[in-house]
Structure 1
Amino acid sequence: MERRKFMQKAGVAAVGLGSIPAAQARTLGQSEQAFKKLKHNINHSVCQWCYSDMPLADFLDVLVDWGIPAIDLIGPADWALLKEKGIHCSMCNGAEISLTEGWNNPKYHETLIANYTKMIPLVAEAGYTNLICFSGNRDGMNDLVGLQHCVEGLKQIIPLAEKHGVVIQMELFNQINHPDYMADNTLWAVELCRRLDTDNFKLLYDIYHMQIQEGDIIRTIQQYHPYFGHYHTAGVPGRHEIGDNQELYYPAIMKAIYETGFQGYVAQEFIPTAKKPLNSLKEAFRICDV
């Protein structure tokens, strides 16, 4: 299951996770009092699409039980439910067209500008800060041309984002999962930040994607962290659990993030393979709680 397919078919259950009865999930959460002693030097979050077999309300109950404060990639239709449960939306979505149709192509600018102009005030009114965006695919376009197109388009919405205190965040992807996606490397994306020259545009640094695409994760975080406003995790290879059966050592990565003084959120975005996927998620929070 890939996130782009989930976003295209919102509300459809993910494949392969198995059903998680709500009562069992609540019991699992309520019985783990020790888990609530996490240090929370890292602000923990999670991407709901990875657990979409479970009703959102029940999943939020688990997060409440565990003391996890936030959830990623939720649009306006579900914000009222988040507020009812006391869970923060650490990364809003709903203004983008798709992962492949983004700011690098001027033919999408009119729609994107309209979408983000409508969404930015809604994000602020709801008390949230971060709103995701995407570069889009190259479709034969030169990277420097696409970079300039992104600058020209995003400059049309940045003043509104600054006015409302909303941070637009562009996610970085690899070329294996997202062939032809333009924002596939840190240097290109950092240059975009530099040209926009605002605190209201940052990068969503997806550790899984960038390990596949370019590696050197910790040094990159140390060098370019001022441009990173949000992080996603997953194991490499396979985008599954972040335990010791994959090549990234997340305690060291989280320590590096913490040492930069990062105050944003780190969201788990792996696809669990265990028979009890909530146990995998719980373990991931433990691993990342440095």
Structure 2
Amino acid sequence: MDRRNVLKNISLGAGALAVGGLTTSLTTPNTDLKMSPLKLKGNINHSACRWCYSGIELEELAEKSADIGLKGLDLLTPNEWAIAIKYGLECSLGTDKFANIIHGFNEPKNHKELQEKYTGLIDKAADAGVKQVIVFSGNRHGMDDAVGLENCAVGLEALVKQGEKRGVTLVMELLNSKVNHKDYMCDTSPWGVQLVEKIGSENFGLLYDIYHMQIMEGDVISTIRKYNKYYSHYHTGGVPGRNEINDSQELNYPAIMKAIVATGFKGYVAQEFIPTYDDKIAALREGITICDV
């Protein structure tokens, strides 16, 4: 379940970190944080990415996520959606095994196969009540960004129209091309915004991954304020390292979440950090606590 085998050899930190007035060890979170019930404010629709918890059975992850107060789980495949629903969760962002970061919609030779497979995924999503599915630009492979943008628009056009009819939004993820996804094309907000404007549909938007965009362009809060209408979904992650989003890393997540809330965003914010704590559910609880503003 390692997401495209790009994040490996995670180092376990040492020492203690102050988070929201509680002190937590990197391997043994404070019992109060781990066991106390969360009283969520309701301003953020919380979710979590399934792939970050590959060592936990989905049934257990869904049950414990619901107990924490999450409303959804991200990046579930169609055969997994029913498990989320069983525990009162949505699949907040659907995917399937064919979704490919490297070989995406910027390459015309991929269009036929991707269109056939996404047509089926969109129909499955609509039938199951899944409102969003993820798509990728693909890597540049020497292609000019303007050409790739035009190719993406052509390849996605019919699928977006299908999404309009079925009530499903296609969401292209912004990923960094410096550290984790070398050569990926949709690696800055301006490029993604141009694509959204060219397609011109409420059923196509961007996944603003805070971790990735901090690496690529920084200025996170100003960017969210400027481009928020183009963002359909958010992901978190600590920079550097993509681990816990507490004081061990450089981003001020409470301030970022307040900025997202201020835009009137009603979609999902999904935790997409790789836990280093022995208790991965405690790490998730901590992340939700930090982001619940």
Query: How far is 1:61 from its partner?
Result: 1.0
- Uncovered stretches (5+) of structure 1, i.e. residues with no partner: 7-13, 19-27
Quick check: 1:284 aligned with 2:284?
Answer: no
* SS of alignment partner, residue 196 of structure 2: helix
The AA in structure 2 aligned to 1:188 is W
Q: Which residue matches 1:205?
A: 208
The partner residue of 2:69 within 56, 61, 67 is 67
Query: How far is 1:126 from its partner?
Result: 0.3
The AA in structure 1 aligned to 2:163 is A
The partner residue of 1:274 within 273, 277, 282 is 277
Query: How far is 1:33 from its partner?
Result: 5.2
Note closer, same or farther for the CA distance 1:40–1:46 as it changes in structure 2 (3 Å cut).
same
Report the RMSD for the aligned CA atoms in angstroms.
2.1
- Deviation by residue 1:191-241 (Cα, 9 ceiling, x = unmatched): 000000000000000000000011010000000000000000000000000
CA distance in 2, matches of 1:16, 1:213: 21
Query: How far is 1:148 from its partner?
Result: 0.3
Q: Which residue matches 2:175?
A: 173
The partner residue of 2:107 within 102, 105, 108 is 105
Q: Which residue matches 1:221?
A: 224
Query: How far is 1:275 from its partner?
Result: 2.1
Q: Which residue matches 1:160?
A: 162
Q: Which residue matches 2:119?
A: 117
Quick check: 1:240 aligned with 2:243?
Answer: yes
Note closer, same or farther for the CA distance 1:3–1:121 as it changes in structure 2 (3 Å cut).
same
Note closer, same or farther for the CA distance 1:169–1:95 as it changes in structure 2 (3 Å cut).
farther
- Uncovered stretches (5+) of structure 2, i.e. residues with no partner: 13-30
Kindly indicate whether structure 1 or structure 2 has the higher relative contact order, using CA contacts under 8 Å at least 6 residues apart. Answer: 2
Q: Which residue matches 1:231?
A: 234
Q: Which residue matches 1:128?
A: 130
- Deviation by residue 1:88-123 (Cα, 9 ceiling, x = unmatched): 100000174411010000010000110111111110
Query: How far is 1:279 from its partner?
Result: 1.4
The AA in structure 2 aligned to 1:240 is N
Note closer, same or farther for the CA distance 1:72–1:38 as it changes in structure 2 (3 Å cut).
same
Q: TM-score by structure 2 length?
A: 0.89
Q: Which residue matches 1:78?
A: 80
Equivalences, count: 273
Q: Is this contact kept in 1: 2:254–2:290, CA < 8 A?
A: yes
Q: Which residue matches 1:4?
A: 4
CA distance in 2, matches of 1:269, 1:286: 15
Q: Which residue matches 1:94?
A: 96
The partner residue of 2:152 within 142, 150, 153 is 150
Quick check: 1:191 aligned with 2:194?
Answer: yes
* SS of alignment partner, residue 38 of structure 1: coil
Q: Which residue matches 2:28?
A: none
Q: TM-score by structure 1 length?
A: 0.90
Query: How far is 1:5 from its partner?
Result: 2.4
Quick check: 1:53 aligned with 2:48?
Answer: no
